[in-house]
Amino acid sequence: MSPRPLALLGLRASGKSTLGRLLAARIGRPFVDLDEELVRFAARAGHSATSAGELLGRLGVAPFRDLEATTLRRLVEPAAVIVLATGGGVVERADNRALLRRAARCVFLSVPLERLSERLRADPTSRPALRGVDPIDELAAVARARLPLYLELAEFVLEAGERAPAELAQELADRLG
C-alpha cells in the first residue's frame, strides 16, 4: 500500500468519517477527520466552534475555506500515512485539488442524492446551507458543481449508497492492496 495519505472525498453525509474510521482500523493507519482538525486549528486561531458546520456559519464560506486549506496542507504535506475524511467542499479550491492530486490517493464515495437526503434529514449535526437555502434543497446543485471535481481526483469511485460501512471498508482495503 502506498505510504501517501488516503483521502476520502464525497458530499455531506456520504459516509467519509464512518468509513474512514473503519478503514483506518482495518489497515492499521491513524484516522483523521479534516472537519475535526479544522475546528481544533480554528480554536487555536481564536475562532471557537463545536463543529465545522458551526464554524462555517460563523466565519462565512471564504474565511472557512482559507482555514480548511491551511489545515489540509498541515495534514498531508508531511506525507502522513493516514486515512483522511475530507470536508465535502475541500475540492472547490484549485490549490486543495492540486495538493490532493500530488500528495494523496483519493477515493470518491458516490451516494445517490435520495440516499444523501435521507441521511441529512436523520443527522443532527449542524450543516449550514452553502447557497442560502436549506442544505437538503441545495444538495443537487452542490452535487452538480462538485461531482466533476471529485471524479478529477479519484483514483477510483466506491459506490457507497446502500452497502454496510464494514463491507465498504473491506472492499476498499482489498482494492488498496
- Tell whether the model's pLDDT for residue 1 goes beyond 70: no
- 1 within a domain of the structure (yes/no): no
CA-based Rg of the chain, rounded to a whole angstrom? 15
- 149 within a domain of the structure (yes/no): yes
pLDDT digits (tens, 9 = 90+) for 70-100: 999 999 987 779 999 999 999 999 999 999 9
- 143 within a domain of the structure (yes/no): yes
- 120 within a domain of the structure (yes/no): yes
- 126 within a domain of the structure (yes/no): yes
- pTM, entire model: 0.91
Per DSSP, the three-state class of 31 is: strand
**Helix, strand, coil abundance in the chain, percent, nearest 5:** 55, 10, 35
pLDDT at site 30: 97
- 28 within a domain of the structure (yes/no): yes
Label residue 124 by pLDDT band (50, 70, 90). Answer: low
- 37 within a domain of the structure (yes/no): yes
Label residue 54 by pLDDT band (50, 70, 90). Answer: confident
Q: Would you call 22 exposed, middle or buried from its count of C-beta atoms within 10 A (0-12, 13-18, 19+)?
A: buried
- 15 within a domain of the structure (yes/no): yes
Tally of structural domains, the chain: 1
Q: What is the CATH number of the domain that holds 101?
A: 3.40.50.300
How large is the average pLDDT for residues 9-27?
Answer: 96
| Residue of higher predicted confidence among 132 and 74 | 74
> Domain limits at 82?
6-176
pLDDT at site 57: 84
* Least confident window among 77-81, 103-107, 117-121, 127-131: 127-131
pLDDT digits (tens, 9 = 90+) for 136-176: 678 888 999 999 999 999 999 999 998 999 999 999 999 98
